[in-house]
Amino acid sequence: MTELHWYQIDNPKGQTVPRWQRQAACAADGTIFAPAVIAGNETAVFLCAGYDGVPCVVDAKHVYLPTDWLAREYPAVRDICAVIEKRVREAELPYAAATVV
């Protein structure tokens, strides 16, 4: 897999959410990876993705899957995936502009 750029949001006020649950990655091809756990049992979601041949990223023993696949296969998280995609794409803009040759 190509280089990934990782993005992290701050803890919600009054909550302590583990870092791995608050981060997402963007691949060079624009694929955005979000924590599999947003769709339910992390292992079950990972196995479904594997069966479908979906690429995954593992970081700190946690699985991250493409948001487009998560939104399609788990419609209940479609809005969450859209927010993650929006935030990552907004954060990615300055990097993309700086690397254009």
pLDDT tens for each residue of 11-37: 888 889 899 999 999 999 999 999 999
Q: What is the dihedral of CA 85, 32, 91, 80, to 10 degrees?
A: 30
Give per-residue burial for 12-28: e unless 16+ CB within 10 Å, then b.
eeeeeeeeeeebbbbbe
67 or 11, higher pLDDT: 67
The verdict on residue 76 lying in a domain is yes
**Which of 13-17, 58-62, 96-100 has the lowest average pLDDT?**
96-100
The model's pTM is 0.88
Instruction: Map residue 57 onto helix, strand or coil.
Output: strand
Task: Measure the CA–CA gap between 35 and 31, rounded to whole angstroms.
Answer: 13
Answer yes or no: is 100 within a domain: no
Ramachandran area for residue 20 (φ above 0: left; ψ -120 to 50: alpha; else beta)? alpha
Q: Is residue 29 part of a domain?
A: yes
Q: How many domains does one find in the chain? A: 1
Three-state DSSP at 7 gives: strand
Q: Is 99 part of any domain?
A: no
Residue 71, domain extent: 4-9+20-94
In a domain, 101, yes or no: no
Residue 99 predicted with pLDDT over 80: no
pLDDT score, position 74: 98
Query: Does a structural domain hold residue 59?
Result: yes
pLDDT digit string, tens, across residues 34-48: 999 999 999 999 999
* pLDDT at 94 > cutoff 70: no
Does residue 75 form part of some domain? Answer: yes
